[in-house]
Amino acid sequence: MQHDIDEIRQGLLSAIANSSSPREILKSAALKDMYSVIGTLEPSERAAYGKAVNEVKLALEAAVVAREAELADAAVEPIDITAPWDANSTMPDLMPSETASQHPLTKELEEVVNIFTRMGFEAIESRQIDDDFHMFGALNFPENHPARDGYDTFRTEEGFIPPAHTSTMQHRILKDGLSKLEAGGKIAAISYGRVFRNEDVDATHEHTFYQCEGVFVSRDATLGQMLGTLRSFFEVYYGQKLSIKTQPGYFPFVEPGLEFAIEKPASIGGKPGEWLEMLGCGMIHPNVLKEAGIDPTVYRGFAWGGGVERLVMLKYGIEDLRHFESGKLQFLRKFA
Ligand code: DAH
């Protein structure tokens, strides 16, 4: 019997290797016959025979996939990139454009930006490559200070840094805003974009993620204004009243520095007293203002910064951070 199976297997494999529609061969009568034999066997023989037939089937499927790839390669015509584009020709049917959609993070970032711009904040995208000064120096991290270790990121050979937080934009926002302060106005801006960290990736850590940063400076800015601003943002974003709390946190660029948490709403399964830390914040350190040419004896400011994925995960009950960068259509289509 084993002999028969081997013979059929060889015959089908060579048919697949020469076929222009190899998948059809999987439907062949010889394969079906092999299965129908199972019913005629003694129970003691069935397991071994069934296993052998299954192995044949797997080998044939692998051969079909290989043959299909071979055919697809042969079918690719070289592209003449110098050929003029015919604007009247129909679009090649490569992408189902009618089912395309925005990435959930793009969509949610638009919502975040929308809420803050309605509150009077200007919005600017953050940089994806920056330098040591904006990453550390301008933010009151002394040279060789251990606080730098909390932001383990990458460096290019030239010494540039893919930023580990959107706080790298603070100095630029402050410097550009100086003229507004001098004209009697205030600085109110958010900066959002991709940041990068040297992380081991798991369900709650990614090497690439998004943050949103806020900066506000006036003659009389207070922590109370900051907490009110943040509470309003979260309440609008989640569409409900929320309890908030803060606890001390250390960031060299703010004094005092705080960690800001919201109570997980009951509507999404939160229990009373279940707090979720959402961002870091505080009153901008006088050295950071000074570095940007702003007199800290005249002006005061507050700043905050936090991850965007966290915000979105909580809103939709997404359990794994890795989905966002995975490119999985099954995940992305849920937001289409
Ligand atoms: N940049 C900090 C981080 O990524 C978060 C942060 C904390 C931003 C305090 C701020 C702030 O603007 O004031 O860990």
Of 107, 167, 108, nearest in space to 314 by CA: 108
Outline where 150-194 has alpha helix (H): 170-182
Per the document, the length of the chain is 336
- pLDDT at res. 234: 97
Give the pLDDT score at 95: 57
- Of 103, 97, 95, nearest to 334 by C-alpha is 103
Contact between 306 and 212 under an 8 Å Cβ cutoff? The reply is yes
Phi, psi of 60 (to 5 degrees): -70, -40
C-beta of residue 164 within 8 angstroms of C-beta of residue 152? yes
The amino acid present at 179, given as its one-letter code, is S
- Secondary structure (3-state) at 328: coil
Domains and CATH numbers, the chain: 2-75 (no CATH), 104-335 (3.30.930.10)
**Does residue 214 have its Cβ closer than 6 Å to ligand 1?**
no
Task: Annotate 21-55 with DSSP letters as a single string.
Answer: SGGGGGG-HHHHHHHHHHTTS-HHHHHHHHHHHHH
pLDDT of residue 281: 98
Q: CA-to-CA distance for 156 and 17, rounded, in angstroms? A: 48
Q: For position 27, what pLDDT does the model report?
A: 83
**212 CA distance to ligand 1 middle (Å):** 9
pLDDT of res. 152: 82
Q: Identify the DSSP state of 256.
A: E
Q: How far is residue 324 CA from its own chain's centroid?
A: 4
pLDDT the model gives residue 226? 98
CB–CB of 321/104 below 8 Å? no
**Distance from the alpha carbon of residue 173 to the mean position of ligand 1, in angstroms:** 15
The values of phi and psi at residue 183, to 5°, are -90, 10
Q: Which of 174, 210, 281 to mutate to test the pocket of ligand 1 (most atoms within 8 A of CB)?
A: 281
172 SS3 class: helix
CB 114 within 8 Å of CB 123:
no
pLDDT at 322: 93
Task: Print pLDDT tens along the chain (336 aa).
Answer: 666 788 888 889 998 999 898 988 888 777 778 778 887 888 888 888 888 888 888 888 889 988 988 888 887 777 777 766 676 777 666 655 566 789 999 999 999 999 999 999 999 999 999 999 999 999 999 998 999 988 888 999 999 999 999 999 999 999 999 999 999 999 999 999 999 999 889 998 999 999 999 999 999 999 999 999 999 999 999 999 999 999 999 999 999 999 999 999 888 888 999 999 999 999 999 999 999 999 999 999 999 999 999 999 999 999 999 999 998 888 988 888
Ligand 1 geometric centre to CA of 179 (Å)? 25
Close Cβ partners of 135 (under 8 Å, ≥ 6 residues apart): 151, 153, 161, 163, 164, 168
pTM score > 0.85 for this model? Answer: no
Alpha-carbon gap, residue 53 to 57, rounded angstroms: 6
d(CA 93, CA 97) in angstroms, rounded, equals: 9
Task: Confirm or reject: Cβ of 259 under 6 Å from ligand 1.
Answer: no
Give 306 Cα–ligand 1 centroid separation in angstroms. 7
Cβ–ligand 1 contact at 251 (below 6 Å): yes
Nearest atom of ligand 1 to the alpha carbon of 213: 12
The three-state secondary structure class of 278 is: strand
According to the model, what pLDDT value does residue 91 have?
64
The pLDDT value given to residue 157: 94
